[in-house]
Structure 1
């Protein structure tokens, strides 16, 4: 395969089913995200958005179907026609291809901002500490926090903590970056600074899959909007198509409530 044909960040979700305690949360989801595409996942609470996101990097296993990134399973390998779950160490290595930013930051409270960012590259990418520090300083500068490198999470605002979390996810140089409601835990006045960082990432060509309730942001940043309801993809298309001219009654009903 030549360099020109290598794909980076192609996510392929095929007929994915997932149940919790007998309740089916994902009901045969099919979705392909092209390399460099920005996809916004919208839908009501309980529609399966976050669960679908977490299947992409194997934080949730699937009951049926498959999820691959550039043709490779994150948590499994195919042997003799059957999927076998990998050992945890191998899962962690493959998971470096898919970064995720959670709504509640999940920073290590006993580590400074820069220590939070360098921890995974040293442990999983085997970077030297000096190389990891150089990488981390560049990433903190990218998210506007070079001056907070030595601050602990408790010394940072919620928006700053989320930007550190984004820098930490980028430190593994993932093919795909997932955002699970990245602004839902923030005070309203802090939302903009996080969305600005994600806007910049969208311009750089990284594949982004964003679960969000920020309709205006989805309209501005996404290449495609996917609407989920009751564990199924109900509608998808360009932001203008889905948000301005939705075809499905359920999409219209949801947007009418959200947009007031």
Structure 2
């Protein structure tokens, strides 16, 4: 890890209707690190992840990725909403891997990976296809380039989704419970790819219930509940010897 701050969230608030989902949430993520967000359902983990790449707007606070504001610009001492094309450009800095894969069913694995670089980044087709094949090999699917999503297992689809996120050359990848929709026997193949990315120095923020992954691979574990960060620290502390009672109760309930 370089020590450079890749993600900084300050005082983030988000409500849906009358329900405040994120309450003055602040978090710092260092370049090259793995941060695991854990906590009970409804604690705001996924909402926070979606705010990081502006799939959700924030009601208050700021988010910065690699020193640049996300979703807003500072003009004349105040924050103003960015234009959609600027938001889309900023969003490319962070790849996202969803629970349910979100692959295009009418496109092959290779075409799913190439879609963003070709049509969003407008990169040369020959270069994109070459890199897409390299990414398929990287996630262990070199022989499935022409397969459609329905011809792949859930674990294979999720590995294609990871390759698709990498194809955009993001500065960080956001994982939203990437193994929760998988049968137990398929979880390991996806976690293996994620562990390799971590070893290669990819900045990752992972919402997960896989505490074994968090214990082995995280640089910091963040326990959230009711829209706030209750406790943050290295895995040995948060998972092995938590300070806060709510953290202790949660960890004991899922081990």
8 Å CA contact 2:3, 2:31 repeated in 1: no
Q: 2:225 aligns with which of 220, 223, 229?
A: 229
Following the alignment from structure 2 to structure 1, what is the Cα–Cα distance between the partners of residues 49 and 62?
Answer: 13
Contact 2:34 2:220 in 1 (8 A): yes
Q: Give ranges in structure 2 of 5+ residues lacking alignment.
A: none
Residue range with higher mean Cα deviation, 82-91 or 186-195: 82-91
> Does residue 1:175 correspond to 2:189, yes or no?
no
Residue 119 of structure 2 is aligned to residue 120 of structure 1 = no
| CA contact 2:62–2:70 (8 Å) conserved in 1 | no
Contact map agreement 2:136 2:142 (CA 8 A) in 1: yes
1:93 touches 1:124 (CA, 8 Å); kept in 2?
A: no
In structure 2, the residue matched to 1:62 is 58
* 1:114–1:137 Cα contact (<8 Å) kept: yes
Instruction: Confirm or deny: 8 A CA contact 2:135 2:163 kept in the other structure.
Output: yes
> 1:122-175: CA deviations, max 9, x gaps?
122221111110110111110001100010000000000000000000001100
Q: Which residue of 1 is the match for residue 133 of structure 2?
A: 137
Contact 1:77 1:83 in 2 (8 A): yes
Kindly report the root-mean-square deviation, in angstroms, between the aligned alpha carbons of the 2 structures. Answer: 1.3
Quick one: which of 49, 54, 76 aligns to 1:53? 49
Unmatched 5+ residue regions in structure 1? none
- Aligned-partner Cα distance in 1 for 2:169–2:70: 16
Runs ≥4 in structure 1, deviation > 4 angstroms? none
From 143, 146, 155, the equivalent of 2:151 is 155
Q: Distance between the aligned counterparts of 1:138 and 1:73, measured in 2?
A: 32
Contact kept, 8 Å, 2:3 with 2:30, in 1: the verdict is: no
TM-score (norm 2): 0.97
Superposition TM-score, scaled by structure 1 size = 0.95
Quick one: distance in 2 between partners of 1:191 and 1:169? 19
Give the total of aligned pairs.
254
Query: Match of 2:95?
Result: 99
In 2, Cα distance between equivalents of 1:75 and 1:147: 39
- CA distance in 1 between counterparts of 2:73 and 2:120 reads 20
Aligned residue number for residue 198 of structure 1: 194
